[in-house]
Structure 1
Amino acid sequence: MQIAAIETSVVSLPFTMGGPHPLFAGQPWNRLEILLVKVETEDGLVGWGEAFGHTAIPATRAAIDTIVAPLMVGRDAGDIQALRRQILHGVHLLGRNGPFVYAFSGIEIALWDLLGKRSGQPLWRLLGGSEPSPMPAYASLLNYGDTALVARNTADACAAGYRAIKLHEVTREAVLAARTAPGAAEAAIMLDVNCAWSAPEARAMAASLAKDGLFWLEEPVWPPEDARGLARIRESGIPVSAGENVAGLFGFKTLIEAGAIDIAQPSVTKVGGIAEMQQVIQLCQAHGVEVAPHSPYFGPGFVATLHLASALLEKPLIEVLWLEMEANPFDPWVRAVDGMMRVPGGPGLGCDPDPETLARYAIGAPHRTERRQSP
């Protein structure tokens, strides 16, 4: 069945985060914005996707509305592999990582949702999985720059049932504050520094953290493409994770061949969609590299991550940003209960957005790209 229309829209959700709202890429970050992609086929079936994301939404949305969606309307919605090859090749001169790959990722997720709905099968089954069980999540705390807030939010997350906590800080003092927080004695503590250090600085910091029992150290090296520098950090004995900024399958192949990572972190809304994510997971499994998906978002991309992790990972661990949204159109599937995530069982992604919540929190007007009718 052919794609009749592709529509983008944005919902903006107020949230609290246990501390003052930070800047994100230089912009105030006090609302969680989701770039939704709706794909309709000629017979009226609708699939939902999510394209990355956050302060990059204007760029990603422009890539969809002006380039990627016009290339895809009128094409066979079920021929995902051919679309993946042809569309990504068609825009590769515009960048193999960034808005155009994010744009395709969002549409591709919606195509899988359509495929599941048309076949009457949930995504986890299409991916070869068995009946899913609840999966453990980890609380991904935001940046506070305040050890007292780190300790308080770590304690609150443990009290909420999380048994793994990730910090977005850059000091050993923050790690120690989390480690000694009430309830955290048995919790796994991870540290994500978002590429804060040069390779020599990262080696020195890793040495100072070596005896603090970190479950992993995430993206310690700037720039993230420095695979050799990243590999040196593993000498500290702390497991190293990375991958949210990697360009697709061959980007992960480079990291693996350099011996740079213990844990790979592909992001379905950034890497090229579900099929690319599936290939990345299979590559990592073939080389004995663990996979912990990057998923700091709360729309169809997050739900797709649940299906992927349930179907393909032996020991899934789901990233959930530690914040409280005023509402979400994909409730309850985007919220952890006692530190665990459930997977929808309906066809496709298994859940469509609540239309009232969409309408209430929408910002701006949707943009619709439709197939041109022959004269």
Structure 2
Amino acid sequence: MNTKIEHIEAIALRIPFTAGGKSDVGAWGDGDLKTVDSLVVKVTTDSGLVGWGESFGFTSIPAVKVAIEQIIAPLCIGRDPSQIEKLMLELQRKLHIFGRSGAIMFGLSAIDIALWDIAGKAAGQPVHQLLGGADAKALDCYASLIRYTDPDTVVANVERALGEGYRRLKLHEVELPAVQAARQRAGDDVEITLDVNCPWTVRQALDMAEKLRPYKLRWLEEPVWPPENFEGLARLRREAGIPIAAGENASTLMEFQQLLRAGAVDFVQPSPAKMGGITELRKVFALANAHNTSVMVHTFYDGPGLLASVHASAALGGADAVVEWRYFDQEAYLYGDAIVPKNGAIAVPQGPGLGIEPDPDVVRDYRLP
């Protein structure tokens, strides 16, 4: 008799953190935010195998939790966990009327990641092996700083990241003095990317790009509002003189196809906890390869969504693979020290499935009611 999905549990966590200075309202969350919320999903089979997934959440967690528990989970109970692609496509088709983004897709993403974890455990292999195998035992990371605005605070955190061995940095600043200060402190040999979170019209973005060119950015990320303005991004890419990155707000394979067909980006950034999990992520790698475009997976989380990104990047990303690390200090980490980068690199887990199990004490101590 085939194994069946027996239970699905959505678990919200809230963990205090410090970030080397006061965060600026508008980057993500509130100004001077002191806790980070995440939503992990535990899928249990009737044979006792357990898989863990993660949804993109933050302030949308209550909506995603309801979507998983009341809409998605009942459609999964009793199904064969090994038929991942078949089940995910069926659920996308059944639930498309409720939206192809947001809570539904975030929830599907979490369950998909958990099913890949189960598949790896059932096979006794890490997920990266299921995706074709990986030679790399570790991947370079970039320290993804939050937005500070204050140049002195930016410099202090750049210094801290460099001191910990990072040679790649991401800023979330939108004002030139902060970017200038970071580049001056880091020097020309450190790779700096800039994520501005969709603030500008195309004309404004072109004007800003002219001012940003002297700072030799590896890429300018999500410069245009709205994020689905792929033609505007393509124009910016042609005229800005800075490589363009985007994709974390795309939710379906069709959006990625349109983004790449428009020639809008040099780096495409699928977010597996938002856009369908590992099942869809591997398709984006194939699409990007067909368009000669590098994939830089969006990983502004540190649970199963991050592990999914590491496995996929190691197996499918080739020599370009780099992992985003959310650069602040949490009171506790879901995996303890096992996944924290060392000297600017993150280990590729070698155990079955996602390769690392959540710390039950962290889940217990930081779980929201």
TM-score for the superposition, normalised by structure 1: 0.94
Question: Matches of 1:48 and 1:22 in 2, distance apart?
Answer: 32
Shift of 1:192: 0.6
| Kept in 2: contact 1:299–1:334 (CA 8 A) | no
Identity between Structure 1 and Structure 2 (%): 44
Q: For 1:216 and 1:210, how far apart are their aligned partners in 2? A: 10
SS in structure 1 at match of 2:214: coil
2:215 to 207, 212, 219: 212
Distance 1:22 1:242 in 2: 22
Q: Where does residue 316 of structure 1 map in the other structure?
A: 321
State the one-letter code of the partner of 1:201.
Answer: Q
CA offset digits 1:148-203 (Å, max 9, x no partner): 1111111111111111111101122221110011x444101111100011111011
Give the structure 2 partner of residue 186 of structure 1: 189
Equivalent residue, structure 1, for 2:124? 120
Q: Give the distance between the partners of 1:285 and 1:256, measured in 2 at CA.
A: 10
1:161 and 2:165 are equivalent in the alignment: yes
The structure-2 alpha-carbon separation of the partners of 1:155 and 1:185, relative to structure 1 and needing over 3 Å to count, comes to farther
Separation (CA, whole Å) in 2 of partners of 1:134 and 1:74: 37
1:10 aligns with 2:15: no
One-letter code aligned to 1:55? T
Task: Compare 49-58 and 129-138 and name the one that shifted more.
Answer: 129-138
Whether 1:83 aligns to 2:66 is no
1:131 Cα deviation after fit: 3.8
**Mapped pair 1:229 → 2:229:** no
Q: Does residue 344 of the first structure (1) align with residue 349 of the second (2)?
A: yes
Q: How does 1:219-298 map to 2 (within 5 A)?
A: 219-234=222-237, 235-298=239-302
1:20 aligns with 22
* 8 A contact 1:303–1:333 mirrored in 2: no
SS of the equivalent of 1:211 reads helix
SS of the residue 2:215 aligns to? coil
Q: Which residue of 1 aligns with 2:98?
A: 94
Aligned to 2:72: 68
Aligned-residue offset at 1:53 = 1.4
Measured after TM superposition, the shift of residue 29 of structure 1 is 3.0
| Equivalent residue, structure 2, for 1:370 | none
Matches within 5 A, 1:298-313: 298-313=302-317
Q: How many angstroms apart in 1 are the aligned matches of 2:60 and 2:32? A: 13
Compute the displacement of 1:332 (Å): 2.4
Q: Secondary structure at the match of 1:210?
A: helix
Task: Please tell me whether the aligned partners of residues 137 and 317 of structure 1 are also in contact (alpha carbons under 8 angstroms).
Answer: yes
Whether the 8 Å CA contact 1:248–1:280 is kept in 2: the answer is no
Return the alpha-carbon distance in structure 2 between the equivalents of residues 41 and 134 of structure 1. Answer: 31
Letter in 1 for 2:172: H
**1:363 partner SS:** coil
Work out which of the residue numbers 43, 49, 59 in structure 2 matches 1:45: 49
Structure 1 pair 27–164 and aligned structure 2 pair: CA distance change class (3 A): closer
Unmatched segments (≥5 aa) in structure 2: none
Distance 2:155 2:94 in 1: 48
Task: String of CA shifts for 1:13-55, please: whole Å, max 9, x gaps.
Answer: 1111011144435586321222110001111111111111111
1:103 and 2:103 aligned: no
Deviates more, 1:273-282 or 1:123-132: 123-132
Count residues with an aligned counterpart: 363
Unaligned runs of at least 5 residues, structure 1: 365-375
3-state DSSP of counterpart to 1:154: helix
2:18 maps to a residue whose letter is T
